[in-house]
Amino acid sequence: MGVEIVRFLEGGQKVWGVHQAGKVAPLDGPDSLSAFLNAGLLEQARAARGRGHLDLAKLSLCAPITTPCQIICQGKNYLDHILETGVNPKNKEFNLLFTKAESTLAPATGKVRRPAGVRLLDYELELGLVLGKAITAPTQITLENLHEYVAGLVMANDVSARDVQVPERQWFRGKSFRGFCPVGPILYLLEKADFAQLYQLDLHLTVNGETRQKASTAQLLHRPPETLQLISQGMNLNVGDLLLTGTPGGVAMRVKPKRRWAEIQDVFKSDKEKFARFVDEQAQSPRYLKNGDKVECTIRSRDGTIDLGKQDWVVEG
């Protein structure tokens, strides 16, 4: 069984702690996650389990992922999400990767601020993998050796401004506003045996109590070993970097597949006209996040041994 790590404010300082059964035991350790992992503090963390005296519910929790780090994301990695975005699955021929700015990192509880002028604010619950070993050359990665490269799991939300992302036809800016990546509250440091459960995790997200996303990591199209091996072919990954594995179906954005006649008509419209129509049509949907909406989400294994806690945040204008 792995170790549940949290990060919280105590006396104006950010402190690491080990969580078990609602209680937290503070840990002595470096400020950054990369230094924490490189310091080999897992044994110290294991020993602290069961010694907690702080009430988790009373702590001011911080994001358990620290900067500097890279946030690398997979797009359209669940079939239901591909279909709801109006894409023919046969046309998705590659593992879609993009990045978010590290300034998007935010606590799992609190508020997510809507940027000025954004109308189409969307949620995307995702499982995150935290790198525990640097990858600096093309590397063969399989489920059998994945434990050598992945230190832990964390819950994340790839908050997105669709009216920026889609019309600009580049995803970075629409997904990189400050605070657009709530993570945590739990960073689950994995034991080797835990990797057998990687594809048995259930994701669940609600908005104001209504279920919007409910899926399993068994549905991942491009799985972590394949993805990390692909990334290793062209770029470096560092200890503490974060890989988001994609969101399942159920997001606010819904795009109907184009009919042939609609495609012909679109030939005579400018891109500006097409995207203005897209935004206006999408704005009619009640599914997009409004100010005051409450988002709650969980990721857990079916047997309950892996539990990444609960995200609970509110949209603020």
If residue 277 lies in a helix (H) or strand (E), which one and from where to where?
Answer: helix 271-282
Q: Where are the domains of the chain?
A: 1-62, 66-299
Give the strand order in the sheet containing 109-113.
Answer: 109-113, 307-316, 294-301, 201-207, 210-216
Confidence (pLDDT) at 257: 72
Of the candidates 94, 37, 79, the one whose C-alpha atom is nearest the C-alpha of residue 227 is 94
pLDDT digits (tens, 9 = 90+) for 170-229: 899 999 999 999 999 999 999 999 999 999 999 999 999 999 999 999 999 999 999 999
pTM: predicted TM-score of the whole model, two decimal places:
0.93
Residues facing residue 110 across a β-bridge: 313
SS3 content of the chain, % helix, strand, coil (to 5): 25, 35, 40
Pick the CATH number of 66-299 from 3.40.250.10, 3.40.462.40, 3.90.850.10, 3.40.50.720: 3.90.850.10
Residue 299's Cβ-side half-sphere holds a number of Cα atoms within 13 Å equal to 30
Q: What is the largest CA-CA distance in the chain?
A: 68
For 277-301, the pLDDT digits (tens) are 889 999 999 999 999 999 999 999 9
Residue 259's contacts (CB-CB under 8 Å, 6 or more residues apart) are none
Counting as low any pLDDT under 50, the low residues of the chain are 261
Q: What b/e readout covers 269-292, taking b as 16+ CB neighbours within 10 angstroms?
A: eeeeeebeebeeebeeeebbbeee
